[in-house]
Structure 1
Amino acid sequence: MNMNKELYNMIFKRKSFHLFRNIGEESISTNEVEQIERVYRTLIPLCPEIKTAIRIVPAAETTCKRGQQYCILLYSEKKDDYLQNIGYLGEQLDLYLVSQNIGTLWFGIGKTDEPSYEELDFVIMIAISKIDDEKKFRKDMYKSKRKPIDEIWIGEPIKGISDIVRFAPSACNTQPWIVEHADSTLKVYRYKKQGKRGIMPADKVTFYNQIDIGIFLCFLDLCLQHEAIPYETQLYTDNGLDHEKTMNAVYKM
């Protein structure tokens, strides 16, 4: 099932608002909050068998202090690949919010007083605020700092795919993915350069990088669908082991 086509266009507009400053006086209305909740229920999961839910709460009810108005708390059953699934769903929501001129920030270290909801466990939050001017979003995606294609893509690049997916957001901008392209197959790996973790706590690197892979797969699917490239996906269970490369998905085109 294909995702909303409009989400693809938002790839070029979105940016992470690390601080919500100089964004104007507009607020997210009650109607918009209700619409976000409705839209979430229409999103396409990576793993349909995994139950998830969201709660949208005022900023003061979390430990995230970035000047946002609300935080979207994402909850899930803990099953194989639940982190990738949350990343995949959350990124669709992220791109939808951008289409509504709502700025976003995936906030990994945030905590809430409600660690469970509807018998599901809290996973991660997205901070959000209304932005008064579209010009405050990304002006030129290609100027943002990302790894060059040859660091994340092995084999022949695919125009409209390889050059776009590398802009997927990730925790601390670690970009923990490698794609191997051979014949008509894409193999997607979670990649961790041994001995390097940036500023993330060592015991959280794999946790957030699995969410990142879900975000990346969302970008990859949107790009393939935009380019009208038919494909089938086989997911592989990522047990969160500390290997350099961990297979997460194989795409047959």
Structure 2
Amino acid sequence: MNNIFYEMIFKRKSFHLFRNVGNESIGENELKDIQDAYSGFIPLNPEIKTAIRIIPEKETNCKRGGEYCILLYSEKKDGYLQNIGYLGEQLDLYLVSRNIGTLWFGIGKTKEEPFEDMEFVIMLSIRKISDDSKYRKDMFKSKRKSIEEIWEGEQISGVTDIVRFAPSACNSQPWLVKNDGELLVYRYKKPGKRGIMPADKVSFYNCIDMGIFICFMDICLGHRGINFDKKLYPDTGEDKEYVLNAKYRLE
């Protein structure tokens, strides 16, 4: 993972509304750069075909003041939601490095047809940010679960304290890591609690969230110089308290 991604973790924020961010536009060359950059990102599963399309935000139901929306498409195969989350978070951090603000827009809809043999999964709303002060000033003031709520066992400095800032749908933070010599990463759903998301959408978006979280995990371990062997497990979105998504053997 690119070290710049680690730095961008501390800068990024979700622009729930693009307001007072300047009047700069995203140029044609930048749009091409985004497409080119995406083609070089590392997927969780290289056998799953994905693609992005960039269209004006006004052609979607997203009305957050963005200039464009990036539509993420994927084949529907086992693990495709985690895979698109993993790729999409690399895209998120890349965009921040280009001073382009982002918002994961989970309830996004578009009139665009399926792309080749892939279906629309989720979108990011984006806009050029002319003033750096509009980004996050102190990540640690962000509202997140405590370390104790998302991590069991021995903590890893520079990893445990950073991965909890991964973005998630409705800030649901549906993850739990158990360190028993190996890192076991679970999609975790607290019994009887689902937040404000429609019940039939919780597992869909939380599977995407797990891909985002695994991306953060890989970036943080890489930044610490910790080598690892990662094994992924299929997550079909079952309504269970714990669903194993990944196992890390640290070297």
Please state which band the TM-score falls in when normalised by the shorter chain. Answer: over 0.9
* Larger CA deviation: 107-116 vs 94-103: 107-116
Q: Which secondary structure does the structure 2 equivalent of 1:132 belong to?
A: coil
2:247 corresponds in structure 1 to: 250
Q: How does 1:106-185 map to 2 (within 5 A)?
A: 106-183=104-181, 185=182
1:36 is displaced (CA, Å) by: 0.2
Within the alignment, does 1:241 sit opposite 2:250 as a pair?
A: no
TM-score scaled by structure 1?
0.98
Question: How many positions carry a matched residue from both structures?
Answer: 250
1:115 is displaced (CA, Å) by: 4.1
In 2, the alpha carbon distance for the partners of 1:173 and 1:66 equals: 18
Tell me, which stretches of 5 or more residues in structure 2 are unaligned? none
1:230 corresponds in structure 2 to: 227
| Residue of structure 1 aligned with 2:215, choices 213, 218, 225 | 218
Identity %: 68
Greater than 4 Å deviation, 4+ residue runs = none
1:78 is displaced (CA, Å) by: 0.2
Amino acid at match of 2:245: N
2:15 corresponds in structure 1 to: 17
1:239 is displaced (CA, Å) by: 1.5
In 1, the alpha carbon distance for the partners of 2:94 and 2:180 equals: 33
1:55 is displaced (CA, Å) by: 0.1
Q: Which secondary structure does the structure 1 equivalent of 2:37 belong to?
A: helix
1:252 is displaced (CA, Å) by: 0.2
1:5 is displaced (CA, Å) by: 1.5
Amino acid at match of 2:227: P
RMSD: 0.6
1:118 is displaced (CA, Å) by: 1.8
In 1, the alpha carbon distance for the partners of 2:237 and 2:205 equals: 10
1:44 corresponds in structure 2 to: 42
1:119 is displaced (CA, Å) by: 1.6
Amino acid at match of 1:79: K
In 2, the alpha carbon distance for the partners of 1:196 and 1:109 equals: 20
Q: Which secondary structure does the structure 2 equivalent of 1:23 belong to?
A: coil
| Residue of structure 2 aligned with 1:192, choices 178, 189, 198 | 189
| Residue of structure 1 aligned with 2:85, choices 63, 84, 87 | 87
